[in-house]
Amino acid sequence: MANSTSSSILHNLKLCSDHLKNSLSSTQYTPPQFSPEVSIKSKLQSLLETQTQIKDFSLCCAALASALNSTTQHLSWVPNSLSLSAIASFKQFAKVFYDDDSTHTNCLLKVHDLDLDLNDIVESEKKLVIEMMLDVLPLLKGNIKESAIDVNEESDGISAASAGVPVAYAVLAAYQFRWFVTQVDAPYLGKLCHLVIPCALTALDHWSPEVKAQGMISFICLAKKVKASEIGGYADVILDACCQNVASDDEIWHYVVEMSVLLVTLTQQSNPRSSWYEKLLNEMLSHLERQPRNKQRRIAWLTHIEPLFNGLGLILLAHFRRLFPLFFKWMHADDDETVLLVLHRLVTVLRLTWIRNSSSIER
């Protein structure tokens, strides 16, 4: 971001901020019953105070825009009209920002010792998102970590990273983070992995399912848009975090499965004998075996597991003793969706292995 900002940019920033501030002020707000001491609305209003900075304006827009797909009560008070207004304000400011020749003769950024040329990006708002991520992602990572759980080595105990920090702020930061990440397309997102991955891992390490979920969605986005080489040395750390999160709550388990499958197939695609395939599949099967009647979990797993099966190929034979008892049990489930999904996955298994020397042939 340029050190000096022209008067026309500052004027437009004030206009966009004031418009958003007025809309925000007129929006009714009732804090969640479980967190009455926290006002997310006041937190967002503070970002739009006098002499608003571009970074703060962007963070406010990200929070309001992310409420469009929100399932958290901390953002349930944001109407769609306010979310759409925030998106429009962000686009309007970005257009003026990049149309101003006094500060932007080119769009070449220095990112982690790499030159990132944004000139090929048509949408001004996408350019601004990428520029802002350099500033806001470390900040959001810190906000998420403030209410995380730390293991205290000295006292052998577990405590909040910062006593008295409400989890609502971590939830807000996680939603802002997810919004920024999902706005960036390939190949630019791959160049930002060194910023995105640490923040996403911090979200996955948090105790709150709401925070975890946004980290998982961000990783799903990352896995669909970047190359394995861009993940680089983070692969083992990421896959270990996937294994640790297989035990997550029902409401976010579909994210766990999709994230884990996409990341292991991306990073281990040329190595079906990778220990990570075995670890992840065994971890998932263990949870399914303990709750075979959990419809939510089995449907999520059956829906997303196909790429992992394809990645394993003939190595699936080693998992028949655990796979087929579940398949046969689910074939008698009382919902058509489960039965249909099992049949589709059975076709995949047959295609990949031809049921060689298996005791399951007769069944």
Helix (H) or strand (E) holding 183: none
Assigned token pair, 188: 């630019």
- Encoded tokens for 71: 């399932």
Alpha helices in 51-102 (DSSP H): 54-66, 80-99
Q: Are strands 149-152 and 114-117 parallel, antiparallel or unpaired?
A: unpaired
Provide the 3-class DSSP secondary structure of residue 110. Answer: strand
Q: Give per-residue pLDDT as tens, 291-306.
A: 999 999 999 999 999 9
Percent of the chain's residues with pLDDT above 90: 75
* β-pair partners for 115: 110
> Using CA atoms, how far apart are residues 39 and 6, in angstroms rounded to an integer?
34
Mark out the alpha helices in the chain (DSSP H runs).
7-25, 40-46, 54-66, 80-99, 124-145, 167-182, 188-191, 193-205, 209-225, 228-231, 235-244, 253-267, 275-290, 295-304, 306-312, 320-330, 336-353
Closest CA to 185 of 277, 112, 122: 122
**pLDDT greater at residue 157 or residue 151:** 151
pLDDT digits (tens, 9 = 90+) for 308-358: 999 999 999 999 999 999 999 999 999 999 999 999 999 999 999 886 656
Q: List C-alpha distances in Å: 173 to 17, 62, 110, 179, 210.
A: 20, 9, 25, 10, 11
127-149 burial code (b ≥16 CB/10 A, e <16): bbbbbbbbebbeebbebbbbbbe
Residues 6+ apart with CB under 8 A from 7: none
pLDDT tens track for 257-273: 999 999 999 999 889 99
Q: How far is CA 254 from CA 215, 291, 348, in A?
A: 13, 15, 20
Q: Is the pLDDT of residue 80 over 70?
A: yes
pLDDT digits over 174-229, tens only? 999 999 999 999 999 999 999 999 999 999 999 999 999 999 999 999 999 999 99
